[in-house]
Amino acid sequence: MDIHCRRCGECCRHTSPTLHYQDIELIHRGVVSVKDLYTLRPGQRVYDNIRQRPSYLEDELIKVKERPGTRQCIFYNPLSASCSIYQQRPAQCRVFFCERPELLKGLFSQKKPTRQDIINDAEMLKIIDAHNRRVDMKAFVRKVESLRGEIDEALAELIRYDQHFRDFIHERLRIPRQELSFYFGRPLSEILKDYGLELEIRV
């Protein structure tokens, strides 16, 4: 398939890959680290590239991060217009070819790994479970999408809780900040911005 690919990098500038089970070994081999990844939690609104419309996630997904403020994959090097892990790129990048998007359908229909498949630390998994229960993503998205005007106090409290939880984990457990969006998904304060809303969080 590569013989047809012009290696123009257009696809890498507009999206980053979702991890599949066959990509977990890239983490074990140190090609990709958890600081390069983030988690999308069930209930989050995403853009469905296959159906070409927004949808709500039913299952958790792990994705390679994009460069801040863009949709460009962090492994794409704009100076050399190339992938910095090309020889060991994730499965989605190996299968994807822009002129034959149907090739991705088989891979997309496969069950995807979750944080539980990657994290080998029972204590961290318990912390993630506690965060999932307290910061209910489906309820958060429902609430944000039903807002008429201002952010109410209950929503503001949940967003502040999410931020303070992350600060606590960083400070007490020494988890680097770059890894927090893998362990706990995107912060609620960032997801809020997707809806054109903002909340000032005082520390």
181, 68 in Cβ contact below 8 A? no
Q: Is 29 in the site for ligand SF4 (CB under 6 A)?
A: no
Which one of residues 41, 89, 115, 131 is an interface residue with ligand SF4 (CB under 6 A)?
89
Here's the x/- map for ligand SF4, 38-67, by CB under 6 A: it reads as --------------------------x---
Q: Which is nearer to ligand SF4, 9 or 43 (CB)?
A: 9
Neighbours of 201 (CB within 10 A): 15
Q: Is 10 in the site for ligand SF4 (CB under 6 A)?
A: yes
CB within 8 Å of 145: residues ≥ 6 apart: 195
- By CB under 6 A, what part of segment 94-153 binds ligand SF4? 96-98
Which one of residues 3, 6, 54, 203 is an interface residue with ligand SF4 (CB under 6 A)?
6
Nearest residue to 158 (alpha-carbon basis) of 134, 181, 138, 183: 134
Residues that bind ligand SF4 (CB under 6 A): 5-12, 16-17, 64, 73, 75-76, 83, 85, 89-90, 93, 96-98
